[in-house]
Structure 1
């Protein structure tokens, strides 16, 4: 492809060129290195980036936790995580070079001396590893600890970028969801974080936005004349966005109870998917223009007038998950018997724009459901006239475009086709596109893309505080309504949620897709 052709394609930009994007001199400080996220996702992603040649030779990783570890102990923890969870093959030369930049600082979040030692460690890395004063602080910690750590970064001078002989340095902070637990707490958290770090230096991680299929939604819509003309209320009947898990809460009782499915998934993942599905074409694909269109959608979202009829919540009970008998939520370790935390949530939302007026968006998420799947299903209206006998089309349903986010990433198109034979019989069929079948290169893990974007200062895939606050403004009335309703409805593990979720769609003359 010639340079002129490259520039003429509006969906291509520098971060997607075949020439790899390589981070400049930098390091990362990781808080919460003993947690599952760090062990299963973050540390392996850093190794995979190094293995792909996308990190600078002097890249350094500093762990901070309340552990009596030396640098070597931390290195062994990272080594084990990489061996178990890395996507790319283990290569000893890559590992040795990466491990030379490992450091560990023991301490608690309220320990001033520990953060002073951390500041000394960062300065030492600038000198011996050439990290150039550029450091990202990854807060893989409980949300309640965010303010304490951010204030410590400010007090110790770690948040101050400063300048050097090679120009201005950068300091960035990475925050994992949830961003608060309601609108009020989200605003308070944003005020604290942005009083220390400039807006452009705050990266709020939503790992779903790093998935290839989510990004492919933009290409599907805006790179193809085939879909965009019918992506509106003239043709679309409704949209279903589902994130289903077949597992329970595992050992996350301390985090999950009191949070629940709506705050854990709908407020961030599913509302972001809704915004990307419903937004208008952006002027460009840089961060400011993408955010502007997503914010327009979120600000136009309207709740249904009757929250009893158009929301549903449930709590999984004992049942069978495949061939395994599993316990209910209230029997999980650490869950109080009177817990009203929902493990299933479904809501209907409407979008008051010319494109989407009259098209309901149904969002659902839950644990211990029939199978693990995340998908966006755009379901179209029936044809206004069918020139066939009734018997020829009795099984014919709605056309649909289904974007499969995980697993089996790809796109399915459902349409009617004639059944082979002498009679005219039309039946629904599926046409599938799968990433694994169409591309030889494997997709990078979402955290690889997002961590590299942080180190590059590339913000399109990260929501700003305006999006976070709009999302809480949508969800808060629903969770407040549920809080007045008492216990969630139980549903049997291995099934697709409580009866009220199915009744919610049946009232509208629709049914949930069976993924």
Structure 2
């Protein structure tokens, strides 16, 4: 059912995600007049607040996490807000929440940002209070389970109340400008698509590197690890966008149909195609930082086998990508914060310049996603000179820095786009159930392989690019990670 919601319920409204991302995103949409004047935002959480208390909470969050230049009409935004305390584990309180959200003329959107253990009772409470009808859609923040089995349990619980066309599974990477630009790069330029295959591409690298450690997420992260926290969702979505066939149209069904084909074509990873690591004390930006074992504390630190780093050599077994390795790498306490996709093209079949002493290097496309949004294509060019002693060639970067290419355009938080799409009912940038389950099936198989081979994380010093075995994973194929 197509409608633009005039009520938005924020579950987990006093949590960290709400403070850093959701409230600033909604305030920005309000300031830019992108949401209707009739949209009311109702926050709910365990915190014992009233409307005025929540507005004060929101004001403090905006002042702390939102750039001052984007904080226009704060009073108008805060007037949209109201609050209803709720213990999501019991049915009591949902009726009061429904009363708070009443009088909707068009429909209601719900953003569920809670612990996975609260999904089922929350859905039950929403059904009990009549907040799961045809004019209600729901957005689900990750993590959606810890395995295929638990993910199916959550999806089944949601499906009992919300049909798939009213279910919006969020992966905030899909809201990033450069991630969407990947589709534009591929499908709006005749230059790339004819050579976007195994005939011309040697390998692809996808890196998601973080400099931070646990950052207060001790309990969650030690149960999850890098594979489930980053690879299962963000990295596999990036892989799917790199590998997908051209969709028939730019709409939710066509795009997600092509992504799920890629995820189902992922070959099972062999034991020797993964490396795991766990950081120890080291230095980031010249400052000493503790090791994972120290952050966990003496009770659990020495016994944890949770990986904070993982590198994987993956393969997509289809016509387009047969024989092309995809090197995936993510970790905490690495030297720099960067998310990027590197497409390494093959060497030219024959160099006419070799007789003149010149050497050539293969072209490389680097798509930077964060912190810098840019696209760089390295091409060979002649070094200026008369060439009496031979010809010299050198790689020259053709660089497109997105903020420079589109001056005057506001750099938006990914959640701005996703929240607006949730309110308006556009599923294009959200993840479908069959995608999630295909991702989990591949991840579960990797974890099973680790268990069978009794794989333990290798230690690495904070501030380095992970265990040396990760370097060897690529170098035995003659590949070097793109670290510069």
Report the TM-score range of the alignment, normalised by the length of the smaller protein.
over 0.9
Question: 1:95 deviation in Å?
Answer: 2.4
Q: Kindly tell me: are residues 392 and 182 of structure 1, through their superposed partners in 2, closer, same or farther at Cα, counting changes over 3 Å?
A: farther
Contact 2:4 2:425 in 1 (8 A): no
The corresponding residue for 2:398 is 431
User: Do structure 1's residue 404 and structure 2's residue 404 form an aligned pair?
Assistant: no
Question: 1:98 deviation in Å?
Answer: 2.4
Report matched runs for 1:235-274 at 5 Å. 235-274=200-239
Question: 1:249 deviation in Å?
Answer: 1.5
The corresponding residue for 1:453 is 421
Q: Distance in 1 between matches of 2:37 and 2:310?
A: 46
Report matched runs for 1:467-506 at 5 Å. 467-484=435-452, 485-506=454-475
Q: Distance in 2 between matches of 1:390 and 1:505?
A: 31
Q: Distance in 1 between matches of 2:343 and 2:208?
A: 15
Larger RCO (alpha carbons 8 Å, 6+ apart)? 2
Q: Distance in 1 between matches of 2:22 and 2:444?
A: 31
Q: Structure 2 length as normaliser, TM-score? A: 0.94
Report matched runs for 1:338-377 at 5 Å. 338-377=303-342
User: Do structure 1's residue 118 and structure 2's residue 87 form an aligned pair?
Assistant: no
Q: Distance in 1 between matches of 2:221 and 2:417?
A: 27
The corresponding residue for 1:310 is 273
Deviation readout 1:218-269 (Å, 9 max, x if unpaired): 1111111111111011110011111111111111112111101110111111
Q: Distance in 2 between matches of 1:473 and 1:486?
A: 19
Q: Distance in 1 between matches of 2:464 and 2:383?
A: 32
Question: 1:273 deviation in Å?
Answer: 0.7
Q: Distance in 2 between matches of 1:56 and 1:282?
A: 32
Q: Secondary structure at the match of 2:92?
A: helix
User: Do structure 1's residue 33 and structure 2's residue 13 form an aligned pair?
Assistant: yes
Q: Structure 1 length as normaliser, TM-score? A: 0.89
Report matched runs for 1:412-431 at 5 Å. 412-421=376-385, 422=387, 423-431=390-398
Contact 2:89 2:118 in 1 (8 A): no
Deviation readout 1:376-411 (Å, 9 max, x if unpaired): 1110111122233489456x5431111111121010
Q: Secondary structure at the match of 1:221?
A: helix
Question: 1:25 deviation in Å?
Answer: 5.1
Question: 1:31 deviation in Å?
Answer: 1.2
The corresponding residue for 2:434 is 466
Q: Distance in 1 between matches of 2:383 and 2:116?
A: 55
Contact 2:5 2:424 in 1 (8 A): no
Deviation readout 1:396-452 (Å, 9 max, x if unpaired): 543111111112101011122222333412222322101111112123211000000
Contact 1:244 1:374 in 2 (8 A): yes
Question: 1:486 deviation in Å?
Answer: 4.8
Q: Distance in 2 between matches of 1:407 and 1:506?
A: 27
Q: Kindly tell me: are residues 88 and 480 of structure 1, through their superposed partners in 2, closer, same or farther at Cα, counting changes over 3 Å?
A: farther
Q: Secondary structure at the match of 2:140?
A: strand
Contact 2:276 2:456 in 1 (8 A): no
Q: Distance in 2 between matches of 1:467 and 1:51?
A: 34
Question: 1:87 deviation in Å?
Answer: 4.7
User: Do structure 1's residue 100 and structure 2's residue 79 form an aligned pair?
Assistant: yes
Q: Distance in 1 between matches of 2:334 and 2:384?
A: 36
Q: Which of residues 375, 379, 385 is equivalent to 2:350?
A: 385
Q: Secondary structure at the match of 2:349?
A: coil
Q: What's the RMSD between the two structures over aligned residues?
A: 1.7
Contact 1:48 1:87 in 2 (8 A): no
Deviation readout 1:76-118 (Å, 9 max, x if unpaired): 11111112222573556x3223222322111211232211211
The corresponding residue for 1:7 is none
